[in-house]
Amino acid sequence: MKRFCLDLTLEELKEWCRAKSVQSFRAGQIYGWLSSGVTDTEGMTNVPKNVRAMLEEDFIFGEFKVLEKYVSAIDGTTKFVFRLHDGNIIETVVMRYKTGLSVCISSQAGCKMGCEFCASAKAGFGRSLTSGELLAQVLVSGKLMGERIRSIVVMGIGEPFDNYDNITGFIDLVTDPDGFGLGARHITISTCGLVPKIREFAALKSQVNLAVSLHAPNDDIRLKIMPVAKAYPMEELLAACHEYTSITGRRITYEYSLFAGVNDSVRCAEELAGKLKGELCHVNLIAANEFPGSAFRRSPSKSVAAFRRRLEELGINATLRREMGTDIMAACGQLRRGMEQS
């Protein structure tokens, strides 16, 4: 089976050149083009046609296509709908901050986690993305925007740690100083709480940021909205998170979407603070976004403010995430797999 061009490391390209009796310096040229977001051989203007033909014979090129582009009238957030070589569809979101462009990428075409409040869970599951398909979202989005991507959040469609090997492969590719060369601290991986993979990731002692989608102060509430809680109760999850901070010395971000009448009471804030007291963490509150067919409603702004205030009174650092692209269904929890649902 052919591999996608961006799955290739520089060393693999060097080996390919040796096997094909191609001059060794061509590997660096090809890798340079790929690392700049060129995913078709026609754009590799300094590579001979015969070498380009051999590349096309052995690898997948020109198949990372933009089906749709949506631009928010509110804040300029841009959502790209990409079609992969096998017909699967993913969504990628580019946001502009004072520090530059940030891209929210998908890790899978669809999601198996089934969180009740997330649009991605309602659209079925296609497959996990390869390391190169993760990288392509960064490189191609930056190329389309005409500007270098400055930070990456893996918070789009899918559960990153359900695609663990490709996620770690992607980190290696995107941080490669001979390639895109992004610093690891400019990358954030978000998981709904796959405990074994949190422990495995901790052992890497990576500088990549870790975010954990908590969304509840206890198992009773979490079980109702996140099926993953059946496999990994909160006590087990928080123990793994504590282990992560102990091993890495890095702070964890707990993501907490606030839903009216579900998890947004002051009592919930107090219970959450009790669970997190003394931990190296901060809580990122999200005024939950609604989507057609969802039974969940956004928590009123007064409830959000009261929740945050109570957390801070109890010594838990909390921020309110700035939601972007809500008018183009590009905000947290709104991404879907498939154009008919975009």
Distance CA 111, CA 198 (A): 18
| Vertex 99 angle, CA 30 and 244, to 5° | 80
For CA atoms 51, 55, 57, 63, the dihedral sign is: negative
Distance CA 114, CA 171 (A): 26
Residue 91, strand partner residues: 81
Q: Which amino acid is present at 203?
A: A
For CA atoms 194, 328, 94, 304, the dihedral sign is: negative
Please give the positions annotated as active site: 91, 332
- DSSP E strand boundaries for 125-217: 125-128, 149-154, 187-191, 209-213
DSSP 8-state secondary structure symbol assigned to residue 297: -
Percent of the chain that is helix, strand, coil (3-state, to 5)? 40, 20, 35
DSSP 8-state secondary structure symbol assigned to residue 191: E
CB 288 within 8 A of CB 251: no
Collect all residues with Cβ–Cβ distance below 8 Å to 114 and sequence separation of at least 6: 121, 227
